[in-house]
Amino acid sequence: MILADADLRSIQEARDLVRRSRAAWERFKHSDQATVDRICEAMARAGSEASEHLAKLAVEESGFGNEAGKYQKNRFCTDMLWESLKDLKTVGVVHRDDDRRYYQVAESYGPVLAIVPITNPTSTAMFKSLISVKARNSIVVSPHPRGIRCIGEAVRIMSEAAVRAGAPEDLILCMQQPTLEGTHEAMKARETALILATGGPGLVRAAYSAGKPAYGVGPGNAPAFIERSADVNHAVRAIIGSQMFDNATICASEQSVVIDAPIYDDVKATFIRNGAHWCTPEERAKLSAIVVRGRRVNADIVGLFPHQIAAMAGFTIPETSTVLMVEESGVGWDHPLSVEKLSPILSVYVEDGWEAGCDRCIEILNFGGRGHTLAIHSRDEDIIWSFVAEKPTHRILINAPTAQGAVGFGTGLVPSMTLGCGAFGGNITSDNISAHNLLLTKHVGYVYEGFVESFPDFALGPPKGFHFNALPAAPAPGARYSSSGSVGTSSPVNAPRGLSPAQARGGNAGGAGSASAGGAHGATRGGASSPAGLAHPGNPTHPASPFAQRADASAQHSANAGGGHGAAGSSTSSSGAGAPRGKPPYEGGTLPDFANLKYRTARKN
């Protein structure tokens, strides 16, 4: 049956692609780290080598931006992105807390639906492909209809490189007939596990409403404040460099400049020396008439050069102009040039003092830029950190061009083309989204020694007394400040630990494991100092545990470990009784190879 309607063809294509993507993910999800990294490195190399070709194709098809900027974006989303990702562990145990016998195991989501905008078409397609595969997901790309050819070419290059490096067919797919209906169908498909939505607010809202986990992003409208202590030349060059970076099509690019009044003349003169065109009131009126249509930015101005925008508005400026500067007095729909424009047009505000500048920046952010990006150019650290504390935004860049700095190009931020705006902007995350956001975590915890043994005698019936056996609590994730307790908690009691292999075999090395090591530990250990007390599958020293090393591996591990394990290592070697068992993971031992677990082997056979 041939479907005649474009929306029906797109819907059927979406269904077919997510099903194929799911099948490819099933074949790929158990890949080891070396395989994943080999595939990703090949993708990054292929994308980098095609950067110039893709940049020319993107400008030719979309009419947005410039080839030089798109080339830099393509290299950034391949070379620099892979540099950021290459050492990230995305297979097996990715975090270990041996003191608490707690482990985190990486788990992939499954098929990712990636919506790619026209403003950054090829770079975003390669970025989303690379972070998805690094996290062991498959991906289906839904391209903007104005960028089908260039986005499809970028996806083809990444897919073919992945397959050559050992990836299954269909791991990276792209819709050829994208429509809004088809994209919505892919969002809601049972096989789709996660949505990466970069696009207009309507599309992002649809992603959040699809009933699937989704990462969306908000609009930018970033202001830059030039405070009176700033290096004016450096600040102006940073801002113009940001505007010229693919003609300000990155949503983090500056949309407004707020100038501290005492340095206004110096800032204006410096902008003009660097090719900026300072608009007259008449030119300002003409620009205001074309920048918005209704209550949306006019897409026809996005990514154009300043002289092209001026021509559309009805006046002429040199083709060498770098940015259009337009003085504004207010913020909101009554001031059209205060919106996010995604083109080299900067609205200019003059405020006397950093407090007034702070208020103006907040006003701008509240008009379509909450949670996204702000820049401050200053050499006064007190003022800088006051800005950090007060602004409703998650990327605050110091003396940096925002288009590059917010995505992690020239700053220490995580390289990303998908910038979360947090609760300020109605997003689930404030991160620069990368492969770590596309991983799930399995949490593995071994029971503390003596915890179950401390339960009351249930033969006497349900407990009636009020009793609480206090144990150390695992610290909540995040940065820690100093405390009097151990391992980041307020408790003076160390985390209960299992006995060393020597103690498990009846040795007396390491007196801390005995009942005399303190009332709290002595009470909970009870009779667990004998090998029989450790013989349960929940203990990683038990031979049934997948963490337990076998006799043939123990000697090799001991030789490799050397003296690095300190007392625990010496206690193992000092005991001659029983078969060597190797160190459990909480003594620094080897974690399991997930490729060789019993259920995996059985499934392979």
pLDDT tens figures, 467-485: 887 887 888 887 777 544 4
408 near 84, Cβ under 8 Å? yes
Task: Name the residue with higher pLDDT: 227 or 568.
Answer: 227
Measured CA angle at 285 (ends 279, 290), to 5 deg: 105
pLDDT 10s digits, 351-398: 999 999 999 999 999 999 999 999 999 999 999 999 898 899 999 999
User: Sign (positive/negative) of CA torsion 300, 304, 310, 314?
Assistant: negative
Q: Reply yes or no on whether the pLDDT at 426 is more than 50.
A: yes
pLDDT for 125 = 97
Q: In this predicted structure, which of 184-188, 247-251, 507-511, 524-528 has the lowest mean pLDDT?
A: 524-528
- Could you tell me the pLDDT band of residue 75, with boundaries at 50, 70 and 90? very high
**E strand or H helix that includes residue 323:** strand 323-327
Closest CA to 125 of 79, 172, 160, 84: 172
Q: What is the spatial distance between Cα 426 and Cα 217, in angstroms, rounded to a whole number? A: 8
Environment class of 453 (CB within 10 Å of its CB; exposed 0-12, middle 13-18, buried 19+): middle
The set of residues, in sequence order, having a beta carbon less than 8 Å from that of 193 and lying 6+ positions away, is 109, 110, 111, 112, 137, 212, 213
Closest CA to 200 of 122, 245, 145: 145
Tokens of 192: 């789709």
pLDDT for 20 = 97
Q: What is the spatial distance between Cα 387 and Cα 555, in angstroms, rounded to a whole number? A: 58
3-class DSSP state of 112: strand
3-class DSSP state of 485: coil
Query: What contacts 24+ positions apart, CB below 8 Å, involve 595-601?
Result: 595/30, 595/32, 597/546, 598/546, 600/30
Mean pLDDT of 313-332: 96
Residue with tokens 């403003």: 119
pLDDT for 559 = 43
Q: What is the spatial distance between Cα 600 and Cα 435, in angstroms, rounded to a whole number? A: 25
Q: Reply yes or no on whether the pLDDT at 540 is more than 50.
A: no
Distances (CA, A) of 571 to 510, 518, 563, 582: 7, 21, 11, 11
pLDDT for 578 = 38
312 near 300, Cβ under 8 Å? yes
The phi, psi pair for 346, rounded to 5°, reads -120, 125
Strands (E) across 78-221 are located at 93-97, 102-108, 111-116, 138-143, 172-174, 194-197, 214-216
pLDDT for 3 = 65
3-class DSSP state of 492: coil
- Could you tell me the pLDDT band of residue 129, with boundaries at 50, 70 and 90? very high
Q: Reply yes or no on whether the pLDDT at 430 is more than 60.
A: yes
Q: What is the spatial distance between Cα 186 and Cα 16, in angstroms, rounded to a whole number? A: 9
Tokens of 544: 């049934």
pLDDT for 526 = 36
Q: Reply yes or no on whether the pLDDT at 555 is more than 70.
A: no
Per cent of the chain over pLDDT 90 is 67
Environment class of 544 (CB within 10 Å of its CB; exposed 0-12, middle 13-18, buried 19+): exposed
Environment class of 125 (CB within 10 Å of its CB; exposed 0-12, middle 13-18, buried 19+): buried
In the CATH hierarchy, which fold is given to the domain comprising 222-412? Aldehyde Dehydrogenase; Chain A, domain 2 (3.40.309)
Q: In this predicted structure, which of 48-57, 462-471, 542-551 has the lowest mean pLDDT?
A: 542-551
Per cent of the chain over pLDDT 70 is 79
3-class DSSP state of 291: helix
Mean pLDDT of 309-329: 97
The set of residues, in sequence order, having a beta carbon less than 8 Å from that of 47 and lying 6+ positions away, is 54, 74, 77, 78, 126, 130, 154, 157, 158, 161
Task: Please state the three-class secondary structure of 326-383 as a single string.
Answer: EECCCCECCEHHHCCCCCCEEEEEEECCHHHHHHHHHHHHHCCCCEEEEEEECCCHHH
pLDDT for 159 = 98
pLDDT for 6 = 87
pLDDT for 120 = 94
What is the layout of strands, in order, in the sheet containing 93-97? 93-97, 102-108, 439-445
- Could you tell me the pLDDT band of residue 304, with boundaries at 50, 70 and 90? very high
Residues designated catalytic = 251
Size of the chain, expressed as the number of residues it contains: 605
- Could you tell me the pLDDT band of residue 534, with boundaries at 50, 70 and 90? very low
pLDDT 10s digits, 183-232: 999 999 999 999 999 877 788 888 888 999 999 887 899 999 999 999 99
End-to-end CA distance of the chain: 40
pLDDT for 523 = 36
Closest CA to 502 of 591, 583, 590: 583
Environment class of 62 (CB within 10 Å of its CB; exposed 0-12, middle 13-18, buried 19+): buried
Task: Name the residue with higher pLDDT: 549 or 307.
Answer: 307
Q: Reply yes or no on whether the pLDDT at 568 is more than 80.
A: no
pLDDT for 505 = 47
337 near 290, Cβ under 8 Å? no
- Could you tell me the pLDDT band of residue 593, with boundaries at 50, 70 and 90? low
Q: In this predicted structure, which of 139-143, 281-285, 353-357, 461-465 has the lowest mean pLDDT?
A: 461-465
Mean pLDDT of 407-429: 93
Q: What is the spatial distance between Cα 589 and Cα 596, in angstroms, rounded to a whole number? A: 17
**E strand or H helix that includes residue 278:** strand 276-278
- Could you tell me the pLDDT band of residue 571, with boundaries at 50, 70 and 90? very low
Q: Reply yes or no on whether the pLDDT at 547 is more than 70.
A: no
Q: Would you kindly state where each structural domain of the chain is located, as residue ranges?
A: 6-217+436-440, 222-412, 500-506+538-605
Is CATH 3.40.605.10 what the domain over 6-217+436-440 is classified as, yes or no? yes
pLDDT for 13 = 94
Q: Reply yes or no on whether the pLDDT at 525 is more than 90.
A: no
Mean pLDDT of 222-250: 97
Q: Reply yes or no on whether the pLDDT at 65 is more than 90.
A: yes
- Could you tell me the pLDDT band of residue 583, with boundaries at 50, 70 and 90? very low
**What residue type is assigned to position 49 of the chain?**
E
pLDDT for 489 = 35
144 near 249, Cβ under 8 Å? no
Longest dimension (CA), the chain: 94
pLDDT for 197 = 92
**What residue type is assigned to position 63 of the chain?**
G
pLDDT for 596 = 61
Tokens of 266: 């110096």
Mean pLDDT of 69-94: 96
179 near 153, Cβ under 8 Å? no
115 near 195, Cβ under 8 Å? yes
pLDDT 10s digits, 504-522: 445 443 333 333 333 333 3
pLDDT for 591 = 62
pLDDT 10s digits, 254-264: 999 999 999 99
